[in-house]
């Protein structure tokens, strides 16, 4: 287990009440009792540890006071009553974490970090491959002080191989993984997926790998290294493209919003926007033709099945849009829903972040920040009935927990003073 058993820490986040006057003892978070160190920047490692923290793990974010996580300087910014600016993305991506400021290039900083690692369950980092190893803090060195430590590294192209030393940002991974080759419209310019998908997916894989390695440690008694790359995370998503190429040799191309093999399964134009629909089974295809009053399409033998319709999309979709383009989105959605056809309007984030369904499910919540007050958060999609996701503080102020955490692990007064002095200079 980690620095603390985590039960008390998680209990405050999961308070619940029974009937009048009856208090119900909350269950600790699913990962309560685990301590995870993060040496992360931007997205992959911080997103991975956010998942672990949401599930109850204690996450200690270790940052260089002179060069902290660059997300702290990424806008837009929120301003506290004293006029100090705080990164809005950082406050959300790093919720439920503690912050310790250490200069890992200094003897005192390395010594303090080794004390943390000796009592942690996992380390998650996404620096350039070999960066921590060059500081004497690689997997082998940390295994000497903690044989049970799970050492997880997320990087652009992996810890070895001919591309390992290259900087690996999300867009490079999207490019090399093939994702950008199938994103966008036919004959259009290259387009990346709107969110940093390789960063985010590699973070999810890293979190899953950490939990799996900890399960193996509980069974076998030994820690291990975890190597997750943005590139391989992106390639792993090519399920349909691999099925096509490895069977036929055909290379996937951009299809706009259309499905790779079935139709109609895409966005269609309405009078006031677009609606997505998926009518790929006999029942839903009949429902679409009925809802949109398209009996000629339904009775046309060329459209007898989804694969046939996919081959004739160039003429099929305009025929469907002839029926939808003059109607409002709400009207089209209502008609398709009544006919049992899967569909949804395309909404922008102004609509998403105020969506009634998500509000009804209590998806959004406010995390307290010591300087900003409540900071609205995106909820965790992992809904555990007995050990719900933690709803704790927003992303921490740089170094806010340095003294408390280092004291807890038995750091020397010299190590603590050095850390606080470096933090004071950085501020």
d(CA 123, CA 36): 6
Place of tokens 């600790």: 28
Query: DSSP letters of 317-366?
Result: HHHHHHHHTTS-HHHHHHHHHHTT--EEE---HHHHTT-HHHHHTT--EE
DSSP H helices, 165-238, are 170-176, 197-220, 230-235
Q: How far is CA 99 from the centre of its chain?
A: 20
Query: Pairing relation of β-strands 225-229 and 265-270?
Result: unpaired
| Whole-number CA gyration radius for the chain | 25
Indicate which residues carry an active-site annotation: 199
Residue 290 parent element (H or E): helix 282-291
- Phi and psi for 270 in degrees, rounded to 5? -120, 180
> At 425, phi and psi to the nearest 5?
-65, -40
């Amino acid at each position: 287990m980690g620095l603390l058993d985590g039960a008390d820490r998680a209990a405050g986040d999961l308070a619940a009440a029974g009937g009048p006057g009856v208090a119900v003892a909350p269950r600790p978070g699913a990962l309560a009792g685990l301590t995870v160190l993060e040496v992360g920047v931007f997205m992959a490692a911080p997103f991975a540890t956010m998942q672990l923290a949401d599930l109850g793990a204690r996450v200690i974010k270790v940052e260089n006071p002179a060069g902290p996580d660059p997300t702290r300087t990424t806008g837009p910014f929120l301003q506290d009553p004293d006029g100090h600016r705080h990164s809005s993305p950082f406050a959300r991506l790093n919720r439920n974490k503690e912050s310790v400021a250490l200069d890992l290039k200094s003897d005192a900083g390395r010594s303090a970090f080794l004390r943390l690692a000796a009592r942690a369950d996992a380390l998650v980092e996404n620096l350039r491959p070999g960066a921590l190893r060059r500081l004497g803090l690689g997997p082998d060195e940390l295994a000497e002080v903690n044989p049970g430590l799970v050492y997880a590294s997320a990087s652009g192209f992996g810890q070895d191989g001919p591309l390992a030393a290259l900087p690996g940002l999300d867009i490079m991974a999207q490019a090399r993984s093939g994702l950008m080759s199938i994103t966008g419209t036919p004959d259009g310019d290259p387009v990346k997926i709107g969110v940093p998908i390789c960063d985010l997916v590699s973070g999810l894989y890293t979190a899953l790998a950490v939990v799996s390695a900890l399960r193996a440690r509980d069974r076998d008694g030994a820690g291990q290294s975890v190597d997750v790359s943005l590139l391989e995370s992106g390639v792993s998503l090519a399920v349909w493209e691999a099925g096509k190429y490895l069977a036929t040799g055909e290379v996937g191309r951009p299809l706009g919003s259309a499905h790779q093999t079935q139709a109609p399964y895409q966005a269609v134009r309405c009078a006031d926007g677009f609606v997505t629909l998926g009518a790929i089974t006999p029942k839903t295809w009949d429902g679409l033709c009925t809802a949109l009053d398209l009996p000629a399409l339904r009775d046309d033998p060329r459209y007898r099945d989804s694969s046939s319709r996919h081959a004739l999309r160039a003429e099929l979709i305009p025929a469907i849009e002839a029926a939808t383009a003059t109607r409002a989105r709400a009207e089209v959605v209502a008609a398709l829903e009544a006919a049992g056809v899967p569909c949804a309007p395309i909404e922008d984030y102004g609509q998403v972040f105020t969506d009634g369904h998500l509000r009804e499910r209590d998806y959004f919540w406010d995390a307290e920040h010591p300087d900003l007050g409540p900071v609205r958060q995106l909820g965790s999609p992992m809904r555990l009935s007995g050990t719900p996701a933690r709803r704790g503080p927003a992303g921490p102020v740089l170094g806010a927990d340095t003294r408390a955490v280092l004291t807890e692990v038995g750091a020397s007064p010299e190590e603590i003073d050095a850390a606080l002095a470096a933090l004071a200079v950085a501020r």
